Structure 1
């Protein structure tokens, strides 16, 4: 009995600690009241939390954002949400800015999200309904909190984020090197007096396990992520995908085609719309799929392409409408129907409403690779034709040198190697390299319209035990600009399984299926469709040393890679063509 009473007393003390522990500041500006508090998590670590509300509104639904990027930068958003009739709560994630603890990326966000929502629900100003908003890291913490099933969380709006962190970092067995090295360099404490090395050189470091040392200081999380290239137990804690269908949450999914989160965000929408356990939840999903990369969501200018005024979307207004519908339960919005999918068609630059992704009625249509064995560079003989080769053709060959990788973007004075972008840029300078194969249609006589996931099937071989194949789908304009639309890659040893790698037998032909990610475009008459194929997408992804020595190996080998396209060994682009309007 004494033990039980002691446990009850401890529990009560812990529950009391979830109340406001310290009011650090309190300011009132017009109708906006702002308080900064420290809120205790279950282990006693206190997180800096700002509460914005209108004193004239005694109780309202709450919009919560949890961020590692400084909660104090949310004041403008707070004013907008409070003006719309909500209470806005912004919190520094554990170990960031003014919050206590140590940042272990994503490691505590589920429990901390649960504890924070539980605290919010106990406040007199909370109506009993909470929604979460934000993108990237700030989007992932929403999924992490949601799968903990905190009472009161009724809607989320995770923008450009993941449900499987492994699938966000790795694609086809290759790792998004520049992304994670840059992020962790900016979020790992740097020793006093240390100057970061030039990232152009640091990202070339082998073995990959030493990249942090090449940058200039230890980064344990970078080492950990780079040295676990397969989706095993290391990643279980940050793999939420199988739990998503059990959620009873309306979800607004927003992402762009060029965003490195595009595959994950779109897959999350498709999973929730088609497999959510509750039929009502399936009908409470919306996907906004634009022409953006990670830093340009809602804008018209993306890298080198201006997609026109239509691409400039007020995402904040869309989020508010979603929350008015499902958080505030405003009859003015709940009675209005909404389209489950709104996607942007690049080329004709317009928004299209659909009931699903991909849109209903698509027809997989093939264009086949042809050449006389000289498809190297854009001046070669590579062709994309609607009919397969009728007779044997010599394979096309290129040499992939890890010491001279094909850059992800053309290197210019304004865009060094380390500044490679995910967005649309003119690929023609890269297409002049002899280690890039180029296959093009003739100028189109009528527009090609597609929406979905383009797929490339290749028959390939190499003289090394491993190699990468990178494929870009390109829209060639009449003036010669070659604008990338979608990209995919495959590390050959993972061609059949990420968990059971299988080395190449030098010279043996094998088949690769490479998905290029979500994409919708209209390629106008007079333009050309093109495929570029090479052996690297550096430094957006790590180079393949072609040796299969593993993550701790430092040796490299030049791979002679071939693409085959003959009867029985067809290589083809498969586009999800939309029916004629």
Structure 2
């Protein structure tokens, strides 16, 4: 190449680079210590384009280190927002003592009030973030701070009790592992290396010491299985309907926050006291678990390219509309619900959740009394039982609880996942009842909230029933779609548990959560029932003694399916 050509190319590259730099706003970062009402200073990063005299503000309050959000914060700042990321009280560079959720409402209010007084804030503030960071939004919003215009609470709760407890069972590995990394570790203390022994330890009230040191707030959570006044500081469910804020709710079916996030959307869309607020709610419901929002690969399943989503980009679009554009563009959401239909792996749209056009359809359990294991005689059909079928029974041994997913070298017990994984190894256990349909000749599509209605008994004062809904692929792969659990003594109430009587038959309803899927041609529908989902939920000692009890009992649990007691799974199907 001639020298003149080389110079010309270099000049063009220089001009292109200069033009790109001129088009891309420069973003500065400044760390300030923001005072709370009690004088505690919280470390706060402010990202902004210095050329903007005033702009709307996006706030994140996090216990997971504000420095980890740098790239997203810069992206939002480059899009014309002032982005503010704050370490929660007692975490990383902030002063004070961290106690989960205790100060998040008040500190959130104070942070938003401080933002409103800054010369670069135009008075319009939004919040974003997932999980604990999503909870900081609900808690701050519930304080009604001036200037808060919209929130985007991703994969989070408005009732922490209902996130930590489901059907009276505790999400044990989730909170214990979180506590081991988010509590102050005394000098010389070490985290347990024997998580199985720790998670099996009785009484439950001592598990924090088994982790390695005293964690009073964890002990409190473990020892209050009833939905009572202990949980009031994180119980916002009845109050959020008073909020007048546009909200974007994002979560996955496999996320342990799925019920809470979807429930919050439904509450705000259907029950918000302000009619305009009802029309400014959006739900995005995908095939993800808690750590995989926006990805295609979840557990053992690749949901394809359509499952890939830019979650930060979705937030950004929301804030462009409801924060940056101002009240003049504050209209209702055109598509309130976008949900991913697993199996066909496509996105669908709806005006509500559950989507309209689906009909509740029962699928009945059948057997000759030998539904134990995948090789048993359990079947699942549209037809209710007409004869006196023999009940199925299994023994639930607290010393050997049924696992939530297969334990492997790569997935030790403490790393049990909520994601879809092949259930066949678990279905070899005698304490698992398996009911399978015939192969479908036409696809079956369902979307909504699934549940199981079972007739059951146990010979112990308490027992658990775990119900899994499964898509059996033509090659045999058994993909868990949804799961629910109910602790027997909580069958009628979260607040007033009642022990069971030996041998008495009870009708129970097990919530399987929100789900949308297609059972394809050649696939089979399956239901597994067992007495534990360990360690994702604590195993039931079956004694009814509660979190301070040390004893265990092996329970003989029965599931009845006859003309008088037709146990069934109820799915919202489309025909």
- TM-score of the aligned structures, taking structure 2 as reference length: 0.94
Cα RMSD (Å): 1.3
Task: Give the whole-Å Cα distance in 2 for the aligned partners of 1:472 and 1:498.
Answer: 22
> How many Å apart are 1:414 and its aligned residue?
1.1
| 1:60 corresponding residue in structure 2 | 55
Residue 81 of structure 1 aligns to a residue in which SS? helix
**Equivalent in 158, 165, 173 of residue 160 of structure 2:** 165
**Equivalent in 385, 390, 397 of residue 394 of structure 1:** 390
**Equivalent in 528, 544, 552 of residue 540 of structure 2:** 544
Task: Give the whole-Å Cα distance in 2 for the aligned partners of 1:347 and 1:241.
Answer: 33
**Equivalent in 54, 62, 74 of residue 69 of structure 2:** 74
**Equivalent in 287, 311, 315 of residue 319 of structure 1:** 315
1:238 to 2:217 alignment: no
> Which deviates more from structure 2 when the two are superposed, residues 29-38 or residues 158-167?
29-38
> 2:280–2:332: 8 Å Cα contact kept in structure 1?
no
1:33 to 2:36 alignment: no
1:102 to 2:97 alignment: yes
Task: Give the whole-Å Cα distance in 1 for the aligned partners of 2:323 and 2:353.
Answer: 25
| 2:354 corresponding residue in structure 1 | 358
**Alpha carbons of 1:337 and 1:491: their partners in 2 closer, same or farther (altered >3 Å)?**
closer
> How many Å apart are 1:194 and its aligned residue?
2.2
5+ long unaligned stretches in structure 1? 1-28
> 1:324–1:333: 8 Å Cα contact kept in structure 2?
no
| 1:125 corresponding residue in structure 2 | 120
Task: Give the whole-Å Cα distance in 1 for the aligned partners of 2:468 and 2:317.
Answer: 36
**Equivalent in 188, 191, 197 of residue 186 of structure 2:** 191
| 2:129 corresponding residue in structure 1 | 134
**Alpha carbons of 1:463 and 1:331: their partners in 2 closer, same or farther (altered >3 Å)?**
closer
**Equivalent in 297, 312, 326 of residue 301 of structure 1:** 297
1:291 to 2:287 alignment: yes
Task: Give the whole-Å Cα distance in 2 for the aligned partners of 1:83 and 1:500.
Answer: 52
**Equivalent in 71, 77, 85 of residue 80 of structure 2:** 85
Task: Give the whole-Å Cα distance in 1 for the aligned partners of 2:541 and 2:261.
Answer: 30
> 2:124–2:149: 8 Å Cα contact kept in structure 1?
yes
**Equivalent in 232, 245, 250 of residue 254 of structure 1:** 250
> How many Å apart are 1:332 and its aligned residue?
12
Residue 324 of structure 2 aligns to a residue in which SS? coil
Task: Give the whole-Å Cα distance in 2 for the aligned partners of 1:94 and 1:346.
Answer: 40
- TM-score of the aligned structures, taking structure 1 as reference length: 0.93
Count of residue pairs the alignment pairs up = 551
Alignment deviations for residues 185-244 of structure 1 (CA, whole Å, 9 cap, x no partner): 001111222222121221111110111111111111110000000111100111011111
Pairing of 1:425-440 with structure 2 (within 5 A): 425-440=421-436
Task: Give the whole-Å Cα distance in 2 for the aligned partners of 1:415 and 1:343.
Answer: 29
| 2:266 corresponding residue in structure 1 | 270
| 1:369 corresponding residue in structure 2 | 365
Pairing of 1:18-29 with structure 2 (within 5 A): none
Task: Give the whole-Å Cα distance in 1 for the aligned partners of 2:340 and 2:25.
Answer: 40
Task: Give the whole-Å Cα distance in 2 for the aligned partners of 1:338 and 1:92.
Answer: 35
Task: Give the whole-Å Cα distance in 2 for the aligned partners of 1:432 and 1:220.
Answer: 40
Task: Give the whole-Å Cα distance in 2 for the aligned partners of 1:30 and 1:577.
Answer: 50
> How many Å apart are 1:31 and its aligned residue?
1.8
> 2:457–2:503: 8 Å Cα contact kept in structure 1?
yes
> 1:321–1:333: 8 Å Cα contact kept in structure 2?
no
Alignment deviations for residues 291-315 of structure 1 (CA, whole Å, 9 cap, x no partner): 0000000000001100000000111
Task: Give the whole-Å Cα distance in 1 for the aligned partners of 2:326 and 2:277.
Answer: 18
